[in-house]
Amino acid sequence: MGSSEKRSKDIMSDIPTFSAENLQNNLKVIQNSRTFLSIIAGVLAGIIGFNGLIGFVFYFVVMLITSVGLMAKAGFSADLYFDSWNRVLFDGFLGGLMSFVLFWTFAYDLVHIF
């Protein structure tokens, strides 16, 4: 009986536990940083004068750099701060696209049309 209790304790210690409040805060930080960088990238793409597909490629490159930066900030061990790697890499990825397009077209219009 002693060995089965030990195995059950080992199994229970292998299950990751997260604080819901800390996890929510970490996800909020990711969302805010992606939104902020989407706005900055949109303004930059508009000022530079990117058109069409080049602008969208620029957005995806900026989001890739953002994901790498967030992973570096987490010490490349996302399991300590998030429930999965996908949260760091893809959470808020398309949500920031709308902000990017809005500020991209706004800055492009201000600089190149008016």
pLDDT per residue over 84-106, tens digit each? Answer: 777 777 777 788 899 999 999 99
Structural domain range at position 56: 51-113
Alpha-carbon gap, residue 18 to 5, rounded angstroms:
24
Q: Is residue 56 part of a domain?
A: yes
Q: Is residue 106 part of a domain?
A: yes
- Asked whether 91 and 30 are in contact (CB, 8 A), the reply is yes
Single-letter code of the amino acid located at 77: S
pTM of this prediction? 0.78
What per-residue confidence (pLDDT) applies to 99?
94
Tokens matching residue 51? 């058109």
* Burial category of 23 from C-beta neighbours within 10 Å (exposed 0-12, middle 13-18, buried 19 and up): middle
Q: Is residue 84 part of a domain?
A: yes
Q: Is residue 93 part of a domain?
A: yes
Single-letter code of the amino acid located at 74: A
Q: Is residue 67 part of a domain?
A: yes
Q: Is residue 6 part of a domain?
A: no
Name, in order, each residue with C-beta under 8 angstroms of 103's C-beta and a sequence gap of 6 or more: 38, 39, 42, 43, 46
Q: Is residue 80 part of a domain?
A: yes
- Asked whether 80 and 17 are in contact (CB, 8 A), the reply is no
- Which stretches of the chain are DSSP H helices? 2-14, 20-48, 53-73, 85-90, 95-108
Q: Is residue 44 part of a domain?
A: no
What per-residue confidence (pLDDT) applies to 49?
94
Domain count, the chain: 1
Per-residue pLDDT of the chain (114 residues; tens, 9 = 90+): 555 555 555 555 666 666 778 788 888 888 898 999 999 999 999 999 999 999 999 999 999 998 888 888 878 877 777 777 777 777 777 888 999 999 999 999 999 987
